[in-house]
Amino acid sequence: MDFSLTDDQQLLRDTAAKLLQRECPPAIVRAHIDDPAVYEPLWRHLREYTALGAGPATDLCLFLEQTGYAAAPGPFLATALYTSLAGGDGDTTGTVAFLDDPMNPFVLEADRVERIAVIGPGPTVGVVDTDQVRDRLRFVGTIDFSRRAFQFDAVDLDPHLRPIDPEAFAAWRDRAHVSIAAEMTGTARRIFDMALAYAKERHQFDRPIGSFQAIQHKLAEMSLALQRATAAVQYAAMTCDAAAGDRGLACHSAKAAAGEAARRILKDGAQIHGGIGYTWEHDLHLYLRRATADEDMLGTTSWHLDRIAGLLFDVA
């Protein structure tokens, strides 16, 4: 049992952090509200890393934590999900669409990718060219300006669904859950860092508000939630790479832990910022939005908890 990063993994994480800090400052996330095209220079850099979608989950999650930290717009996560389902080396951009799945009603970044992997009952999977279904896609605005979600009208569409090995599909779903959880812990960490910095610099009653116990204890609990989620994600990613027996439990737990951490941190992070955090001008909301919307992506926290209960109760 070794959680320490290899030299290559540290390099990957540091490279990702630097790249995103440089190419995806808050100004880009903000500009994306009105002009989705601003993601393109960033994407030219991120495209060089899409092969991670075909590689170990541990490496992918290290990178996704950084895209989450930056609330990076663009189809990096979508392409990673597509690649591990449809195959390939990550060179083709893609996203995934769940047919008739109320827990996954929308298709992420569908207008920016070349292919859509369609998941049908069975489980079955088919792949369609985005260009062939563009008129079936309808942009759906959400609270999160950093992502683009689409309704996908699949009525009378034949996506050439073929059966997929249920175990392979279960492995993909688990990997998908830990992937979104990794992004969420990154976004949660961004909000946490902002709240912690603000608690140190903001003075009231002639001292930093971070010296007050009410604020300190909030930050301590936020920090615990973040540490738990980060460790749960790393562990779950390791179970994916090792095809470990507790992979399902670990990945559901990772998404649930990330969901709980993100919700706690975004609420208390906003509270610690006070009035300034409630303004449009402050960057906080860019990340609050992403963290809030992510909880509903690839299964809500409650949905994942119910899957855990199923594994605890209904297997024996």
Partner 1 sequence: MQLTWGPEDEAFRADLVDFLDTHTPEEVRGGFDFQGDVGDDHELVPQWMRDWQATLFDHQWMIPGYPPELGGRNCTPVQTLIYLETLASRRIPRSGHFPGYAIVAPSLLEFGNENQRAMAPSAIRGDTIWCIGMSEPNAGSDLAGLQTRAEVFDDHFVVNGQKVWTSYATIAQKCFCYVRTDPSLAKHKGISLLILDMDTPGIDIRPLRHLNGMAGFAEVFFTDVVVPRDSLVGALNGGWGITQGSLAHERAGLWVESVGRLEQTVAGLVELAQKFGRVDDPIIRRKIAQFHELASSLRAMGYKGFASFAQGSSAPEHSYMKMATSEAGKAAYELGMEIVGPIAPVTDPAYADVGRWSHGFFMSFANTIAGGSSEIQRNIIAQRVLGLPRS
Q: Which residues bind partner 1 (CB under 8 A)?
A: 1-6, 9, 58, 196, 199-200, 207-208, 210-213, 215-217, 219-221, 223-224, 227-232, 234-235, 237-239, 242, 244, 249-250, 252-254, 256-257, 260, 302, 305-306, 308-309, 312-313
Distance between CA atoms of residues 230 and 36, nearest Å: 30
Minimum CB–partner distance for residue 304 and partner 1 (Å): 8
33 CB-contact burial (10 Å; exposed 0-12 / middle 13-18 / buried 19+): middle
DSSP H or E stretch at residue 15: helix 7-23
For residue 118, report the phi and psi dihedrals to the nearest 5 degrees. Answer: -100, 125
Least distance from partner 1 to the Cβ atom of residue 314, Å: 8
Residue 236's nearest CA partner among 53, 55, 12, 58 is 58
Q: How far is the CB of 56 from partner 1 (least distance, A)?
A: 9
For residues 281 and 132, the answer to whether their CB atoms sit within 8 Å is no
- CB nearer partner 1, residue 155 or residue 316: 316
Residues 212, 285 contacting (CB under 8 angstroms)? no
Task: Answer for the pair 252, 311: CB distance below 8 angstroms, yes or no.
Answer: yes
Q: How far apart are CA 230 and CA 38, in angstroms?
A: 30
In this structure, which amino acid lies at residue 171?
Answer: A
How long is the chain? 316
Residue 78: CB minimum distance to partner 1, A: 25
Our CB check for partner 1 shows the closer of 228 and 282 to be 228
Radius of gyration of the chain, Cα coordinates, nearest whole angstrom: 19
Q: Which residues of 204-223 are buried (b: 16+ CB within 10 A; e: fewer)?
A: eeeeebbeeeebeebbeebe
In the complex, what is the shortest distance from the CB of residue 90 to partner 1, in angstroms, rounded to a whole number?
21
Phi, psi of 308, deg, nearest 5: -60, -45
Q: Report in angstroms how near the CB of residue 177 gets to partner 1 at its nearest.
A: 12
Backbone phi, psi, residue 95, to 5°: -150, 175
SS3 state of residue 230: helix
Least separation in angstroms between residue 168's CB and partner 1 is: 20
Query: CB-wise, 94 or 210, nearer to partner 1?
Result: 210
Nearer to partner 1, 82 or 235 (CB): 235
Nearest residue (CB) to partner 1, 9 versus 142: 9
Closest CB to partner 1 among residues 63, 150? 63
Cβ 6 to partner 1 shortest distance, Å: 7
